[in-house]
Structure 1
Amino acid sequence: MVIFCGINSNCCPFLSWGNNQIKTTQVAPFMGFGFSNCRTSLLQSTTGFTVFTMKVRIIPSVKCHLYQNGQLNSNSEASNKKIIKKVRKKEQHLWKKRESTGSGKKALNLVRIVSELPNEKEAVYGALDKWTAWETEFPLIATAKALNMLRQRGQWRRVIQVAKWMLSKGQGATMGTYDTLLLAFDKDQRADEAESLWNMILHTHSRSISKRLFSRMISLYDHHDMLDKIIDVFADMEELGVKPDEDTVQRVARAFRKLGEEEKRKLVLEKYQCRWKYIHFKGERVKVRRDLWDYDGSTN
């Protein structure tokens, strides 16, 4: 690239024009080019103007500076750009996180309170209402932990009372709570209350009942020798497309055998029974085909 420039010697205090030639190292920095590889030629006229040409090899991203009033100023666009830091947006959640801090102590306190009460509904419910009187929201986590503690201790009546109180408050209506309550009804010999709860669950949550809950109800009816109820629950399982587990299949097959319906028993075993089973042979657990093992006449 060739640059033509005219300089007036009268208006430039830094240069004195005369018969002497000006070196390229004096002109180039003054003009602000500062290129390393360039060639400059000067021509001085009688009018006081000097015309020079400069061949410059352009290098990308080169900053040009000019001296003005003895100070160095930057005219580069890059130097004028300000560094902008992006500020990350804070995440805003639309739900309220339940506070679980101290829920273990609350659960222990609840277990201690209900364990010291008489077996009366009014006394238990009154104490539970007093326990939650100063809570800003229902202590669902602490109540669930208390139910688990009472279940581990085998205090089935207290499990029933606390679970019923929680459901009456419109809280904890989950499959886990229903499973714990049905187990407590089974252990406390309350099959009629379990049947009422099951009918409510079946009509309210028909499409979301888990396999575990079906198995729990069939197990309850099997413990109380209610064979017709076992068949009814199994029919609901088939209608809703819930595949029974191995234990449930054996209970249903046993119920059909006691009812004298051997054909239905075989159909249930053929459709749902697993074709493989594990046996202990010479101290080891071995997986074998069920039909071949039964055909050989071996026992479990």
Structure 2
Amino acid sequence: MGYLRQYKIMMNEVALSSGFLFPSVKISFFLRTARLTSLEPKVTSALCVKCSKKQLKLNSRADENRKVVKKSGKKEHHLWQKRDSAGSGQKALNLVRIVSELPNEKEAVYGALDKWTAWETEFPLIAAAKALKILQQRRQWTRVIQVAKWMLSKGQGATLGTYDTLLLAFDKDDRVDEAKSLWNMIIHVHTRSMSKRLFSRMISLYDHHNMQDEIIEVFADMEELGVRPDEDTVWRVARAFKKLGQEEKRELVLERYLCKWKYIHFNGERVRVKRDGWNEE
């Protein structure tokens, strides 16, 4: 009987391992494997989506890092093309202080200005222009003329703005002959680029010194170049014609260039009204 019991136990173990005694166990095992195989593509696709999102984030971060690296790169420095205005205000004040303490002698002023630029790699044009503006505000007309002439002698600052400042300084310092020489040079060199401002400046200069013939001459150049005068210039030209006894030309200038309407302030508002004749000067 012991042998039979051992035989049955051994056969049961074999059957159990083969799944004959418990068929549901074997079936459930196959179903489980089938479900796993059916879910496998979904799981792999979800994993792929997650991986692709992670990869996109990593790529975007890498691109941002590359952009930051590009922005933080070194800037090229060209010594002779640099136009840096850093510190130009302090340089301008230093120039004004230097020229203000000098005697009124051309050699002394030019020598000091040459020393001022001795250690500069390029001409400090911005600082010199600011110094001219400061001298003009302080009404130091002689110093304005000296600094402007020195700049022009160095081949720097030959602009219409510098010419306008120099003509104003000649006017205030009663140096009409020098203003006339400068004007002839300007009109000869910059014929096609003359501005209304320069014409008005020169006519104003001649008007201050009662030079009616010169006013008419400049106005003729103005008409020839097709530059329309502003209202103040029109009145100065009309006044010059009146002083010369040419009333018809005065009326013609006023009718041609002066607007028939004018603006006045009435009850705090700007109102346009029609002019009543040409006797408003």
Please give the TM-score of this superposition, normalised by the length of structure 2. Answer: 0.75
Cross-structure match for 1:62:
45
Moved more, 270-279 or 159-168: 270-279
Alpha-carbon offset, residue 224 of structure 1: 1.6
Q: How does 1:79-158 map to 2 (within 5 A)?
A: 83=59, 85-86=62-63, 87-88=66-67, 89-90=70-71, 96-158=81-143
Cross-structure match for 2:158:
173
Could you say what secondary structure the match of 1:99 adopts? coil
Query: Does structure 1 residue 33 correspond to structure 2 residue 40?
Result: yes
Could you say what secondary structure the match of 2:273 adopts? strand
Cross-structure match for 1:235:
220
Could you say what secondary structure the match of 2:33 adopts? helix
Instruction: Output the CA distance in 2 between the equivalents of 1:80 and 1:277.
Output: 72
Could you say what secondary structure the match of 1:83 adopts? helix
Instruction: Output the CA distance in 1 between the equivalents of 2:42 and 2:87.
Output: 72
More strand by share: 1
Alpha-carbon offset, residue 280 of structure 1: 6.3
Cα deviation 1:109-134 (Å, max 9, x = unaligned)? 21111112111111110000011111
Unaligned residue ranges in structure 1 (runs of 5+)? 1-15, 37-60, 66-73
Query: Does structure 1 residue 275 correspond to structure 2 residue 275?
Result: no
Cα deviation 1:70-108 (Å, max 9, x = unaligned)? xxxx9x877777725433455978984522222222222
CA contact (8 A) 1:34 1:64 kept: no
Alpha-carbon offset, residue 63 of structure 1: 4.1
Alpha-carbon offset, residue 156 of structure 1: 0.6
Between the aligned residues of both structures, percent identity stands at 67
In structure 2, the CA distance between the partners of 1:62 and 1:141, relative to structure 1 (3 Å rule), is same
Instruction: Output the CA distance in 2 between the equivalents of 1:31 and 1:130.
Output: 91
Cross-structure match for 1:204:
189
Task: Read off the aligned partner of 1:108 and give its amino acid letter.
Answer: L
Cross-structure match for 2:235:
250
Cross-structure match for 1:294:
277
CA contact (8 A) 1:32 1:64 kept: no
Say how many residue pairs are matched: 249
In structure 2, the CA distance between the partners of 1:25 and 1:140, relative to structure 1 (3 Å rule), is farther
Could you say what secondary structure the match of 2:93 adopts? helix
Instruction: Output the CA distance in 2 between the equivalents of 1:234 and 1:195.
Output: 14
Unaligned residue ranges in structure 2 (runs of 5+)? 1-16
Task: Read off the aligned partner of 1:231 and give its amino acid letter.
Answer: I
Query: Does structure 1 residue 191 correspond to structure 2 residue 176?
Result: yes
Alpha-carbon offset, residue 281 of structure 1: 6.5
CA RMSD of aligned residues (A): 3.4
